Amino acid sequence: MAKAQAQYAANQGIAGTIQDYVTLTKPGIQTLLLISMLGAMLVAADGVPSFELVLALLVGGSLTSGGANVLNCYIDRDIDARMSRTRRRATATGRISPAAALTFGVAISVVGTLVIGFASNWLAAGLAVVGNLYYVFIYTLWLKRSTPHNIVVGGAAGAVPPLVGWAAVTGSLAAPAWILFAIIFYWTPPHFWALALLKQGEYGRVNVPMLPVVAGEEVTRRQIFLYTVLLSAVSLLLVPFGMGWIYLIGILALNAVFLWYAWLLLTEPSKARARQTFFYSLWYLALLYVVLVVDRIVLG
């Protein structure tokens, strides 16, 4: 009995450690990144890409983006330990050592890059590397703790997956790929600033200059509305580049709801409005790609 209990405890320890490492890759964030990459692949392809290519890109993309997220946790372990949203991360608690996290993040980033390169082409792999390094060095190490514009400039890292997906299928980049990049670039500020309105106290305590902390809530709400207007305009640019009436109707509806939430947040400010805007922004991006893919499959 004692031996069985010891084995059970050991197994639980192994499972817990695996879960800790997986959690550091931030699977929730990865989901949206992979949706945008897969959506770009389906739009760019002349037909449906092979199952092998899709699987390889999903695995490679998950590893490269996950590696960047692990390295983000490694770098931010000091402030993560002081924020309620992140204090349970294994790098913040010490369950995973800094050296182990650094090694894991670099290793899966390299493996993911090689998977993408050998499965598709090295342009796609190079773009994945650019997104990874931009997130780690430009956003996490430089911008995040130095400027309230961290999300605006740093948002370019999260906008790279559509470029990777497009390049993986075509071997090049075209105007629609860059528009997909721009959509995520302009989506990031209203998405993240809505969250920052909910968590500004935590950011203030760890001296991270998010916009609500530096400029106040009113300025942040105005910027959320402004970027939502810009996002709505940019999303319509895909129509002249081949998207049909299904996408047009869908994106007009999605934009109308996003603008309405951003307007309510501006004119009737509250934590509830900020939370509503934040969660809708997640659905907005996912549904945008659903509409894109449906349009391409139905209308060709």
Each residue of 132-164: pLDDT tens digit?
A: 999 999 999 999 999 999 999 988 999 999 999
Task: State residue 6's pLDDT score.
Answer: 43
Instruction: For the chain, give the mean pLDDT.
Output: 93
User: What do you get for the CA distance between the two ends of the chain, in Å?
Assistant: 64
d(C-alpha 211, C-alpha 153), whole Å = 13
Between 300 and 166, the more confident residue is: 166
Is the separation of the CB atoms in 109 and 71 below 8 Å? yes
DSSP 186-226: HHHHHHHHHHHHHHHHHHHHTT---HHHHH-HHHHHHHHHH
The closest alpha carbon to 225, from 280, 272, 274, 262, belongs to 262
Task: State residue 11's pLDDT score.
Answer: 46
Q: How many residues does the chain have?
A: 300
pLDDT by residue (tens digit) across 167-200?
999 999 999 999 999 999 999 999 999 999 999 8
Task: State residue 299's pLDDT score.
Answer: 85
pLDDT by residue (tens digit) across 204-255?
889 899 999 999 999 999 999 999 999 999 999 999 998 999 999 999 999 9
Residue 28 in tokens? 């929730």
For residue 241, give the DSSP letter: G
Is the separation of the CB atoms in 186 and 231 below 8 Å? yes
Residue 256 in tokens? 């109308």
Q: How many CB atoms lie within 10 A of CB 42?
A: 19
d(C-alpha 177, C-alpha 162), whole Å = 6
Is the separation of the CB atoms in 196 and 220 below 8 Å? yes
Residues 6+ apart with CB under 8 A from 63: 108, 109, 111, 112, 115
Please, where are the H alpha helices in the chain? 2-24, 27-44, 51-75, 77-80, 90-93, 98-119, 122-133, 150-154, 161-170, 175-205, 211-215, 217-235, 245-267, 271-299
Domains of the chain, each with CATH number or no CATH: 15-172 (1.10.357.140), 174-300 (1.20.120)
* Phi, psi (deg, nearest 5) at residue 71: -65, -35
* 268 three-class SS: coil
Cα–Cα distance list, 240 to 161, 169, 179, 248, 270 (Å): 22, 21, 11, 10, 38
Is the separation of the CB atoms in 127 and 3 below 8 Å? no
pLDDT by residue (tens digit) across 57-90?
999 999 999 999 999 999 999 999 998 889 999 9
For residue 9, give the DSSP letter: H
